[in-house]
Amino acid sequence: MFALRRKSVALFILLVITTLELSGCARGGSSVKVTLSEFNEYGYRRVCLFFHLLKTHHSYHVHYHSVVEDYGLHLRNIKDRTGCLLETPIVLGMVLNGHQEKGVLMLEESRIHTRVVLALLVMVVASFLNLFGLNLAGLSVIAGILAFFVNNQIEKVPFRDSGLDLKSIRENLSNKEIWLWIFLPLVMDIVCLGIARLFLPVYIEFEMARAGSFVAMELSAVTVVQFLFFALGEEIAWRAFFQQRLANILPLSTVLVISSVLFALGHYSTGNPVVVLYGLFFTFVNSILYGIVFHKTKNAWVSTLSHFLANIFSVIVMVTLV
């Protein structure tokens, strides 16, 4: 019992020292690494450590790197009533189960580097220039894809945290709720085309002409591959890069609206104002849904699946109707 109390006191002192170290590093803007270990000789079956950062003017990312595979990690952040992540304080909790388990908790100051800001600006400007007939929407996607891979490489982001982790696809697709979100854009396309068929038939011809300017609008294997390729590119650029980066400094709802407005502008094409606005509205809504899918799964492959299914369904319906 005495040994257990002594260990508890030592653990408390460790937490105090760690808190002070974390706070000091926070003010300096540097990163800090904390290694946690569990030792059998003290009889600990479960160790739960909480690090409470002192008040600073910084917000933080949490990067977790494990050296074993079979234990649970629980991280929680204090949020305000609007759901925004509070910059201070941040409470991190780690739970280690079993024997001889070790882990590393990495905290890094959350900021957007100049190279990221430049890429975001290119995407914003290219999307807006589409309104003036310059057709540079493709540049925004290319910029987003390049920035995604370059920044992940520079920052040494683990592949499992990049948004393109293949291993987590199966886990995400086993969640029935995720499938509901995956199919919602397709449902919105059914609503869009159904209303257009009844009240705005010219929209279908307009959309066929718009999409046909860069993709073969026919039922073929080539069309399927093209739509899959474009869906993946847009999801990497707009969700895995733009949304994920901007979400570091803005609330999710704000990020979804901003990214979806820009995404819709990237699909702008001149024509009858009513028809154009009708199409942009549903593009905006679907972009919100793709963003939610990505937010829930943190996987661009899953949001790509949602995007691809909606697009290919629309092609099949429009080709059939025209």
Could you tell me the residue ranges of all domains in the chain?
A: 2-109, 114-321
What pTM did the predictor assign? 0.68
- Which stretch of 106-115, 149-158, 268-277 has the lowest confidence by average pLDDT? 106-115
Mean pLDDT over each residue of the chain, to the nearest integer: 73
Angle at which helix 221-234 crosses helix 300-321, to 10 degrees, equals 140
Q: Is residue 26 scored above 60 in pLDDT? A: no
Each residue's pLDDT tens digit, 234-256: 999 999 999 999 988 889 999 99
Q: How confident is the model at residue 183 (pLDDT cuts 50, 70, 90)?
A: very high
In terms of Cβ atoms closer than 10 Å to its own Cβ (0-12, 13-18, 19+), residue 259 is buried
Instruction: Please state which CATH number belongs to domain 2-109.
Output: 2.60.40
Per-residue pLDDT tens digits for 35-81: 334 323 332 222 233 333 323 333 333 333 332 222 333 333 333 33
Residue 110 banded pLDDT, cuts 50, 70, 90: very low
